[in-house]
Amino acid sequence: MTTVSAYAAPAAKAPLERTTIERREVGEFDVLIDIKYAGICHSDIHQAREGWGEAIFPMVPGHEIAGIVAEVGSGVTKFTVGDRVGVGCMVDSCRECDNCKAGLEQYCTQGAVMTYNGVGKDGEPTYGGYSQKIVVDENYVVGIPEGIGLDEAAPLLCAGVTTYSPLKHWNAGPGKKVAVVGMGGLGHMAVKIAHALGAEVTVLSQSLRKKDDGLKLGADHYYATSDPKTFEELAGTFDLIVSTVSAPLDFGAYLGLLKTDGALVNVGAPEEPISFNLFSVISGRKTLAGSSIGGIRETQEMLDFCAAHGLGAEIELIRADQINEAYERVLASDVRYRFVIDTATI
């Protein structure tokens, strides 16, 4: 075991504080990563505050991890010491179910082992990226190509793949009109990626406060959802809407913005159940769907795509002692567009 510095929430809703955790010895197929940067995802806050149900404490959040390989096990073939690597939301899965075999480990029928707030196959709780080192099986590690800084790459491991996966699955590309709901950590990456895929991109945000940024990042149009005229003007417009917000939407209103056969895909998750009228999907053969992160192969594909198109996240780099303040700012939508922790300050 190796003792590692980390930031943890000792209990639900408690502020995060500096502590130490134990990392397992590097096994035959393991990679030891010196973590350089860890993004702060909205879901870190949901989990640290038990907004999504009972959680495991102490909790070291963080599933947007970028770092350098420091040691590899004797059986490791994919990575060598010094490689630039990332770890996202999963660190293991059953590897045998149809979904795992298809590269959809995030939908593992046995339940993937999440990077934190999970239990590993060794029965021990998992601890995430707000720490200086992590040991992960090589099959759940991805390479970060040259051409993306490790700091701007970290958020791609969750925010990047969470938006890339549905955009690819629902065929965002040339000739397609795609709307992105919300201009936060996920939304700004959805705009960049949808634009790079060749789609015509519209941002639907509560206000026009971030309009200049949205257009700069690749949006063609930008509308305020607080203005009822937006929903009249854009009725029947989009092939695909990707909602990145975790506040409950008026689904009937948003489904009304889709063309026939269009899809509204949710990647943000409200803490409460939602309700909407089924005629919103019956009329126009529309789809209301959800999508969760992406598989390991797809995460690598997304990183290669982002490197090829010069895409990284827009970040605000912070020290570890600013994490609690950063959480409050995320909740107030006061970040452009992702906080990233410099783990040297942990």
Instruction: Summarize as ranges the residues that interact with Zn ion (CB under 5 A).
Output: 41, 43, 93-94, 97, 100, 108, 158
Structure tokens at 32: 């030891």
φ/ψ bin of 293: left (φ > 0), alpha (ψ from -120 to 50), beta (otherwise): left
Supply the minimum distance, in Å, between the C-beta of residue 319 and Zn ion. Answer: 21
Which tokens in the block code for residue 54?
Answer: 């009972």
Q: How far is CA 57 from CA 12, 17, 40, 43, 46, in A?
A: 7, 13, 18, 16, 14
Using a 10 angstrom Cβ sphere, with 0-12 exposed, 13-18 middle and 19 or more buried, the burial of residue 197 is buried
Return the number of the residue (103 or 145) whose C-beta is nearest Zn ion. Answer: 103
CB-wise, 46 or 286, nearer to Zn ion? 46
CB atoms within 10 A of CB 270: 14
In total, the chain counts a number of residues equal to 346
Quote the CA–CA distance of 346 and 336 in Å, as a whole number: 22
With contact defined as beta carbons under 8 Å apart, do 298 and 164 qualify?
Answer: yes
Closest separation between CB of residue 50 and Zn ion, Å? 16
**Rounded to the nearest whole angstrom, what is the least distance from the CB of residue 103 to Zn ion in the complex?**
11
Looking at the Cβ atoms of 142 and 199, the one nearer to Zn ion is 142
* 306, 329 contact by CB (below 8 A): no
* 98 vs 124, beta carbon nearer Zn ion: 98
In the complex, the smallest distance separating the C-beta of residue 186 from Zn ion, rounded to whole angstroms, is 8
Q: How far is the CB of 245 from Zn ion (least distance, A)?
A: 14
Report in angstroms the alpha-carbon separations of 52 from 63, 177, 251.
16, 32, 21
Nearer to Zn ion, 114 or 258 (CB): 114
In angstroms, give the least distance from the CB of 90 to Zn ion: 10
- Separation between Cα atoms, residue 223 and residue 198, nearest integer Å: 20
Alpha helices in 197-288 (DSSP H): 211-217, 228-233, 251-255, 279-282
In angstroms, the Cα distances linking 164 to 90, 170, 176, 315 are: 17, 10, 15, 18
Q: Of 93 and 132, which has the nearer Cβ to Zn ion?
A: 93
Indicate the residue among 41 and 307 with the shorter CB distance to Zn ion.
41
Complex with Zn ion: residue 288 or 330, whichever CB lies closer: 330
Residue 43 vs 132, nearer CB to Zn ion: 43
Distance, C-alpha 87 to centroid of its chain: 11
Minimal distance, residue 99 CB to Zn ion, in Å: 5
Letter for the amino acid at 328?
A: E
- In the complex, minimum distance from the CB of residue 174 to Zn ion, in angstroms, rounded to a whole number: 29
Give min distance, CB of 96 to Zn ion, in A: 6
CA separation for the pair 185, 178 (Å, rounded)? 18
